[in-house]
């Protein structure tokens, strides 16, 4: 129910009812495996509408509860969720470390039935290929760290190993991260090619979560190609779908920040400034430091493009905040943007 609810936009309040009841059963039975998975699964729903920092804390709590020896597959999933939580909160160095630990668990994992309950493995319970998903997550950490060559290598490896048949959810993930990489590189052809792949898998997945991602990716690809008006339409569609369905809300601040960047590129400084301010507010509420950093850089550019001492002061404040976030998170991918503002 939690996994399905996360994809379909289950509200935190509704999820809490299931979690509290299930945790009561798990603790009464002394089932630490299910207790840990419930805590972490709830954390993923919290991350959509709440704080990514709370997601980190809940996954850490789940890992403390889990029995690594008797539940290696559950521990692998939890370690992958910790990587995801760190990425959402912006701590990309910590995310990469968690991912490395997860990859080590994949290498050490022995096949067997130790993690099968009522005929279901952990992967079957959550509905996707956990090792493949963990390998996909590594790409975003590498992109945000500015390690593009390594990201390319992982994307190539994932493309070669992409399961020919399986759930669309994990088959589309490498293309989603590839769009982000192409956006940072200003590579229109790659961005559009991978955005089309995301749209293809979103059609197969047929859930609001992937509809949000497809619109977001299309917006990025169009913006990279200079079609700012259509890009803005795609970003607004992604936001409307996410807010209407409550699915994919963990991307809300990121979509807003990217929309603000697109509006700035289009020359609409007034609206770009308004959307950047909204992105900063949402990002701070959700502890999405990467989105906040991008929005601050856009806000600084907008202020510099406007006349007046007040705008110059605002630009300095936003630039200082962006620099602090880059130093805090390790997101070196934003340094070129920073240099273009300060030089």
pTM of the model: 0.90
C-alpha–C-alpha distance, residues 216 and 209, integer Å: 11
Residue 163 has pLDDT above 80, yes or no: no
When pLDDT is averaged across residues 158-172 and rounded to a whole number, the result is 67
Q: Taking the domain 128-247, which CATH number applies?
A: 1.25.40.10
What does the pLDDT look like over 34-74, one tens digit per residue? 888 889 888 888 888 889 999 999 999 999 988 766 677 88
pLDDT of residue 125: 58
Q: Compute the Cα dihedral for 152, 154, 155, 156 and give only its sign.
A: positive
Residue 274 has pLDDT above 60, yes or no: yes
Percent of the chain having pLDDT more than 70?
A: 89
What does the pLDDT look like over 90-145, one tens digit per residue? 999 999 999 999 999 888 754 444 444 444 555 555 556 788 889 999 999 999 99
What does the pLDDT look like over 215-247, one tens digit per residue? 999 999 999 999 999 999 999 999 999 999 988
């Amino acid at each position: 129910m939690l996994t399905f609810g996360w994809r379909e936009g289950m509200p935190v309040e509704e999820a809490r009812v299931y979690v509290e009841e299930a945790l009561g059963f798990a603790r009464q039975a002394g089932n630490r495996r299910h207790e840990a998975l419930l805590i972490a699964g709830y954390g993923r729903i919290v991350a959509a509408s709440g704080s990514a920092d709370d997601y980190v804390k809940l996954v850490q709590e789940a890992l403390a509860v889990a029995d690594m020896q008797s539940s290696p597959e559950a521990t692998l999933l939890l370690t992958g969720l910790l990587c995801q939580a760190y990425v959402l909160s912006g701590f990309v160095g910590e995310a990469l470390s968690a991912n490395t630990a997860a990859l080590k668990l994949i290498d050490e994992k022995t096949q067997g039935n130790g993690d099968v309950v009522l005929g279901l493995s952990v992967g079957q319970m959550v509905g996707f290929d956990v090792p493949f998903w963990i390998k996909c997550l590594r790409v975003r950490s590498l992109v945000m760290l500015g390690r593009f060559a390594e990201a390319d290598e992982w994307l190539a490896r994932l493309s070669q190993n992409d399961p020919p048949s399986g759930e669309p959810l994990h088959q589309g993930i490498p293309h989603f991260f590839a769009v982000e990489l192409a956006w940072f590189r200003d590579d229109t052809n790659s961005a559009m090619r991978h955005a089309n792949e995301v749209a293809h898998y979103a059609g197969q997945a047929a859930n609001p979560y992937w509809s949000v991602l497809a619109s977001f990716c299309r917006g990025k690809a169009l913006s990279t190609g200079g079609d700012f008006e259509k890009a803005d339409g795609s970003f607004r569609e992604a936001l409307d779908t996410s807010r209407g369905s409550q699915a994919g809300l963990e991307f809300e601040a990121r979509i807003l920040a990217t929309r603000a960047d697109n509006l700035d590129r289009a020359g609409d400084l007034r609206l770009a400034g308004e959307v950047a301010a909204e992105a900063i507010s949402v990002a701070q509420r959700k502890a999405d430091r990467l989105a906040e950093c991008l929005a601050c850089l856009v806000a600084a550019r907008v202020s510099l493009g406007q006349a007046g001492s007040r705008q110059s002061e605002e630009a300095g404040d936003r630039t200082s905040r962006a620099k602090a976030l880059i130093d805090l998170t390790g997101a070196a991918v934003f340094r070129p943007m920073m240099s273009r503002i300060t030089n």
